[in-house]
Structure 1
Amino acid sequence: MNAWSDRLALIVITLWVGALWVVGYVVAPSLFSQLAADKPLAGNLAGRLFELVAYIGFASAAYLLLHRLLRSGIFALKQGFFWAVVIMLLIAIAGQFGIQPMMADLKAQALPSDVMHSDFADQFSLIHGIASVGYLVQSLLGLVLIFKGRQ
């Protein structure tokens, strides 16, 4: 593999992990803090940003997996970096196409009330908690990408 594709891989890692960390641990909490009087609006904005991060993750994972396979061949399957990307991608897919639709469905069922002031609040909180744990795992696996991205 040549130097430009290795450099691009580092940029992709920076974009993906940076987006995960900034949106999840800076922007989303700031939205809920600043929009405390309108938590549904804060949640909708945060949800849109998490959706954007998921799509950044899909594209990033595709490039990183292809790059690693072309660079290392079958030996990529023995690398922690490769499997960290795979797990991060699977979590992003599960979140975007599994967990997020369940949360949206509960919000829709709760209308015209806010889901957190409805009979669905406990179920929504449980699903949100699962999503949060998945996001934390993704965020921590991002450290693997950062530390092993040059290897």
Structure 2
Amino acid sequence: MLTWRLGLLVAALWAGSLWTIGYVVAPTLFLALHDNVLAGTIVGVLLRSQAWLAIACAALLLLLLQVAKGSTPPAQRRSCTLIIVAMLACALVIYLGLQPVMAQLKIDAGTAGLAGTPQGRTFGMLHGVSQLFYLAESGLAGWLLLKLR
């Protein structure tokens, strides 16, 4: 029982960090700073931290699910495991797949920036895909919390 409650706490940390950074902090930075480059840089750093937190939370949750093997129904453990793996996959696609390409596009653009360039359109498309994965991870986080409670 204690293992399951600890898992709920870890899942709440993961979900809360996703929701706070993605839906409160990032929009607030873009509104308050009026400098999209600086806001984007800060949000990028926060999202990298979020990705590492996601990896740590996923590893700990998967470990806790193994420890709770005898005291938890197999169907519940299985569904929680699938949700955790899907959330981790979303985080890894963003962090290892999309963010490096987006960062390289910004570097390649240099001081001229991405606005109005083909690279800018590519960046915008990748940013949209990244937002979809982030939304999926956020939604799955809510589902995981409901499954663990």
Report % sequence identity: 38
1:42 alignment counterpart? 39
Counterpart-to-counterpart distance in 2, 1:98 and 1:109: 17
In structure 1, what is the equivalent of residue 21 of structure 2?
23
Structure 2 partner of 1:106: 105
Q: Quick check: 77-86 or 55-64, which moved more?
A: 77-86
Contact 1:19-1:53 at 8 Å conserved across structures: yes
Aligned counterparts, 1:94-133, within 5 A:
94-133=93-132
User: How many aligned positions are there?
Assistant: 147
Instruction: Please tell me whether residue 7 in structure 1 is matched to residue 5 in structure 2.
Output: yes
Indicate the residue corresponding to 1:136 in structure 2: 135
The 10-residue stretch of structure 1 (78-87 or 96-105) with the greater mean CA deviation from structure 2: 78-87
Is 2:70 the partner of 1:70? no
User: Structure 1 pair 30/15, CA: closer, same or farther in 2 (3 Å)?
Assistant: same
Q: Which residue number in structure 1 is paired with residue 91 of structure 2?
A: 92
User: Which 5+ residue runs of structure 1 have no aligned equivalent?
Assistant: none
CA distance in structure 2 between the partners assigned to 1:23 and 1:108 by the alignment: 24
CA contact (8 A) 2:87 2:140 kept: yes
Give the Å deviation of 1:76: 6.3
The answer as to whether partners of 1:103 and 1:127 remain within 8 angstroms in 2 is yes
CA apart distance, 1:84: 0.7
Counterpart of 2:54 in structure 1 is 57
**SS state of the match for residue 115, structure 1?**
coil
Deviates more, 1:101-110 or 1:77-86: 77-86
Are the aligned partners of 2:76 and 2:147 in contact in 1 as well (CA < 8 Å)?
A: no
Shift of residue 65, structure 1, vs aligned partner: 1.0
Higher RCO (CA < 8 A, seq sep 6+): 2
Q: Report how far residue 41 of structure 1 moved.
A: 0.4
Render the CA deviation track for 1:38-93: whole Å, top value 9, x for unaligned: 100000000111111111100000011111123127x3696221111000001111
Q: Which runs of 4+ in 1 moved over 6 A?
A: none
Q: What TM-score does the superposition give when structure 2 sets the normalisation length?
A: 0.91
